[in-house]
Amino acid sequence: MDVARKSRVVPEEKKRYNKNSVGDAGRGLLPGKEGLMAYREEWLDGARDDLTQAFAVRLEVFCEEQGYSPSVELDEQDRAAWHIVLWDGEEAAGTGRLYWKNEGVAGLGRIAVRRPWRGRGIGRMLLAAMEKQARALGARQLELDAQCRAIGFYERSGFTVCGEEHMDGHVPHKMMRKIL
């Protein structure tokens, strides 16, 4: 994925561009820890950039909260992927990764929102930004392996179940797809 590192601020009227900014990330102001906040979106290249904050969010959500092993959570796909971090001020609120599965098919995964920011639209913003980035990179289809308890969330964003239930570690999952 040959795309420059991107960072953008929501909403449009408060946007601060860096030289590689590509536009609006989402829905405008969302509730933050201290009232309505503008969230900043940052894209990181797994092969070149520091992934410390993306990894910290994932380790907190998937390992500390859900019981996954850190050795399973952080894998070889991380270096080949693009990672998004959604910032609330100086704090990383959520993250996700985007990678190629096949020609024209982008995989979305490791989508995580830290507990204090849940229920505030951060997951929708992450998903919308990841879809927008995938489209910009030429994807015609998105696939993800959803935890069964999150299927409704993904369905509301246009994904459909395309696989049987299976276990990923100790958590049931189903493959989902969205044609772009």
Whether residue 109 contacts residue 97, with contact meaning beta carbons closer than 8 Å, is answered with yes
Whether residue 121 contacts residue 129, with contact meaning beta carbons closer than 8 Å, is answered with no
Identify the pLDDT of residue 38: 79
179 versus 39: the higher-pLDDT residue is 179
- Please give the model's pTM, rounded to 2 decimal places: 0.81
The share of the chain scoring above pLDDT 90, in percent, equals 77
- DSSP 8-class letter at 161: E
Position 61 pLDDT exceeds 80: yes
Q: How confident is the model at residue 37 (pLDDT cuts 50, 70, 90)?
A: low
* 8-31 average pLDDT score: 37
Whether residue 15 contacts residue 7, with contact meaning beta carbons closer than 8 Å, is answered with no
* 121-134 average pLDDT score: 96
Position 166 pLDDT exceeds 90: yes
Q: CA-CA distances (angstroms) from residue 2 to 6, 135, 137, 169?
A: 12, 13, 8, 32
Identify the pLDDT of residue 177: 98
The CATH fold of domain 7-179 = Aminopeptidase (3.40.630)
* 158-180 average pLDDT score: 97
In this predicted structure, which of 25-29, 88-92, 109-113 has the lowest mean pLDDT?
Answer: 25-29
How buried is residue 92: exposed, middle or buried, by Cβ count under 10 Å (0-12/13-18/19+)? buried
Position 87 pLDDT exceeds 80: yes
Identify the pLDDT of residue 31: 52
Coil, helix or strand at residue 49 = coil
Average confidence score pLDDT of the chain: 85
* 83-99 average pLDDT score: 96
Please tell me the distance from the alpha carbon of residue 88 to that of residue 72, in angstroms, as a whole number: 28
Identify the pLDDT of residue 167: 96
Amino acid occupying residue 72: V
Coil, helix or strand at residue 128 = helix
Please tell me the distance from the alpha carbon of residue 157 to that of residue 176, in angstroms, as a whole number: 11
Position 142 pLDDT exceeds 60: yes
Alpha helices in 33-84 (DSSP H): 52-58, 70-73, 77-80
